[in-house]
Structure 1
């Protein structure tokens, strides 16, 4: 490769152009915002670094500086966002070799993690405290996520037409963009997120009664003109947790709770992944690795017990 082709453009400017070319209008808004966040961080960290100065050493320095104030997983995410653009830079002849090759991912000490999910007793205590009157309210929203593991935006987008009483399931084929001033329907996170989620007859009957006076395409939990804030509902959930003296979790924590309890009940990883709308079981395994390891230990005890009887 001729060195004359190599780019002398500033790295952060190349990365911004790469976002415009490959990511604008191609990925979801929330995903795109992450790319722009990385761009702003890159501009702050190395405002004077040119593409022709990029090599394994200069790239590793970027990661090391970033890692001083970020945990290892966050640094890894930062690295992955940059790595994709640099692969293209090599292919396009803007740089000679891949500077991300054999990068070392570091990170500052992990902060003490808040518990992400409730155990069965805590969840039952929480559900019994909900105000589930005849009119659909946000307590019904909490109940639904706890029993289905739906994503926040998926649950917001539900309409009466999504409930199939005969098949006893809820169809997930859209989500609600609540982050913009005027909310609107949008596609689900990925193709695997389009799914049918089975629910128990009691939950189906409860919702059938609550939505019978709504139009089939009318939003269940709020009006289209209402502005919905994730933080507001998380605070409401947190207030419940504080009052009940149980771990404070987020709405996404209710999704984690649902999945965790299914795994503890012996439901397969494949079935849990499908129910959550994960693209593959790898995501499920990585998210719930601590539970899976715990269950593996129990399985090992069962295996040894079985083997001991074969004498």
Structure 2
């Protein structure tokens, strides 16, 4: 138990125990793996640091060393994970006072980011270039994500039974655990459980595609193991052939959201469609688009006011 620790015990041991007690079984495996990676960095950067010696300077030095090899946002994520354990140690009286107060977050200069999304013309070009035959293929998978904005694992878990063609919806209520051998898993969060409205064209296409498939089996999961890179390679090949920017499968999700925002769909509606737990997530992810739309709004306001004279 955490209360069995002494102030002379090592920070890394406390952090390891804290992750085990508070995080294992409470968060998704992918998030837990990030905590485990943070633990490895604490082992590397401060293997002998005792809890009683975790001062503001000592904590800042850990953050600074981590920031030498990581960008600022990654450093911020590491700080938040370690801070959770440190503040609990403060509450337990193992660390004299809060060493995370006024911490300065540094980081490497961000590398040039890959293009995250396509514009409407580029997406139209991509979808026209897909080979949508009579059989299930990864091209159909690409179409589904582009039209719904699902996450990769959500789209993998879609079964024929998830479609309600009469009401033009597809239900997202599970994911496919493709990283650990397959099988259905819970969604990322409660907000990820949702019904996504689909257009009549998708209804007609998928009604035909899945009519003879088992109702409770994932449409896109073959007999062999599924790799994210497989679909990304296929998508990259399409992009190169069609002379449009190369994006990832996750970039299709960004494309879906950006097109909706530019079309005037409200931020809350986009957040619900994407399954974000908070609208703040949507705002942060698509801040550049929102700012561009706000600039357009200013122009519209000025034109409207000038017409009042």
TM range (shorter): over 0.9
The corresponding residue for 2:94 is: 94
Q: Distance in 1 between matches of 2:165 and 2:243?
A: 36
- For residue 6 of structure 1, report the CA deviation from its aligned partner: 5.6
The corresponding residue for 1:209 is: 208
Alignment of 1:127 onto 2:127: yes
- For residue 310 of structure 1, report the CA deviation from its aligned partner: 2.7
User: Among 278, 291, 294, which residue is 2:292 paired with?
Assistant: 294
1:136-188 C-alpha deviation (Å, 9 max, x unpaired)? 1110000000010000000000001100011100011101000013x100110
Q: Distance in 2 between matches of 1:309 and 1:130?
A: 46
Please, what TM-score do these two structures have when normalized by structure 1? 0.96
The corresponding residue for 1:192 is: 191
Q: Distance in 1 between matches of 2:90 and 2:47?
A: 21
Q: Distance in 2 between matches of 1:13 and 1:28?
A: 22
Q: Distance in 1 between matches of 2:49 and 2:234?
A: 46
The corresponding residue for 1:159 is: 159
- For residue 222 of structure 1, report the CA deviation from its aligned partner: 2.3
Q: Does structure 2 retain, via aligned residues, the 8 Å contact 1:6–1:95?
A: no
Count residues with an aligned counterpart: 305
What is the alpha-carbon root mean square deviation over aligned residues? 1.1
Q: Give runs of aligned pairs for residues 16-95 of structure 1, distance below 5 A.
A: 16-95=16-95
The corresponding residue for 1:13 is: 13
Name the SS of the counterpart of 2:170 in structure 1: strand
Name the SS of the counterpart of 2:180 in structure 1: coil
Q: Give runs of aligned pairs for residues 105-144 of structure 1, distance below 5 A.
A: 105-144=105-144
Q: Does structure 2 retain, via aligned residues, the 8 Å contact 1:138–1:221?
A: yes
| Structure 1 outlier segments of 4+, above 3 Å | none
1:190-246 C-alpha deviation (Å, 9 max, x unpaired)? 0000000000011011001000001211211124x4310111111111111122221
The corresponding residue for 1:246 is: 244
Q: Does structure 2 retain, via aligned residues, the 8 Å contact 1:142–1:251?
A: yes
Q: Distance in 2 between matches of 1:273 and 1:29?
A: 23
Q: Distance in 2 between matches of 1:48 and 1:268?
A: 51
Q: Distance in 2 between matches of 1:186 and 1:230?
A: 17
The runs of 5 or more residues in structure 1 that have no matched partner are: none
Q: Distance in 1 between matches of 2:12 and 2:6?
A: 16
Q: Does structure 2 retain, via aligned residues, the 8 Å contact 1:6–1:93?
A: no
The corresponding residue for 1:221 is: 220
Q: Distance in 2 between matches of 1:26 and 1:189?
A: 12
The corresponding residue for 2:178 is: 178
Q: Distance in 2 between matches of 1:149 and 1:204?
A: 16
Q: Which moved more, 1:70-79 or 1:213-222?
A: 213-222
Name the SS of the counterpart of 1:39 in structure 2: helix
Please, what TM-score do these two structures have when normalized by structure 2? 0.96
1:15-41 C-alpha deviation (Å, 9 max, x unpaired)? 101111111111111010000000001
- For residue 308 of structure 1, report the CA deviation from its aligned partner: 1.7
